[in-house]
Each structure stands twice: as structure tokens, then as C-alpha cells.
Amino acid sequence: MDKTFNSQKKEIESIIHQIIQGWLVNRIRRFEDYFDDDIGLTIPADNINIKGKKYFINYHEQFLKDKKIKRYDEIDFSVRVEKDYAIAHYSYNLEYEKSNIDYRECGRDIFIYKYNKNNWKLVWRIIYAFNNN
């Protein structure tokens, strides 16, 4: 890995922002090259534990199937890089509409990356969601 620490942090931030923006418009599949084949997704509040790229993408697409995102904010974004791993996390606020009912959710989003073959791959996403309806 020949990249500087700051360039690695910026690269991770850019990848996450691209993935989130793609997810918000239900285009997460465009970013599947950023996902490890065995990527995991854990959402403890909903008892969700998914493993595999196909299931990871499907979960995100299904989440938006019957929802309209009204607002999404990221707060206190932080990235730490150690050798060939990186962890990024931030707080978020999400507002969406489903069946003409407004919902609000806040929480913490954690992304774990592994550097392999000159690319950062997302290996695990953990979402600590708190519903504030």
C-alpha cells in the first residue's frame, strides 16, 4: 500500500459517500465492486444479520421499495486506517415516508473495509438504528 494515510482516509470517505448517495436513489447495485463477496450487514435493533453481496444489495433495495426518502444527514464522520483495514463511522438522521406516514430514525453507521489487490472492499456494515417516530 503506497498511499498516504490522508489519501486513504479521503478514498474511504469518497467510497462511503458514493454508496450512500447511490442507496438513497436506489442505485446501490452500481457500487457492488466496492463490496466484498462475503460482505456482512448487521442491524441489531431489527435482528438482521446478512452475509453475502447478493443479500446485502437485496436488503438495501428492498428497504427503499415502498419508502420515499425525505432527508438524510451524516454527522461526525470519522475514518481510521490501520495497515490494510479501515473503519469509518458516523451518526445519521433519516426521515422517510411509507404508506403516507412519516418516520424518523437516527443512529450510528459503521463500515469496515479491507484493502486487497489495490482496492478497498467493504467487508461489514453495522447499523445501530433508533426509531424516533
Distance (Å, whole) CA 72 – CA 82: 29
- Domain residues for 84? 5-131
- Are the beta carbons of 78 and 88 closer than 8 angstroms? yes
DSSP state, 51?
E
Query: CB count, 10 Å around CB of 104?
Result: 14
Residue 41 — very low, low, confident or very high, per pLDDT cuts 50/70/90?
A: very high
Q: What is the CATH number of the domain that holds 123?
A: 3.10.450.50
> Is the pLDDT score of 109 beyond 90?
yes
Verdict on whether the full-model pTM lies above 0.75: yes
DSSP three-state, residue 123: strand
Q: How many domains, the chain? A: 1
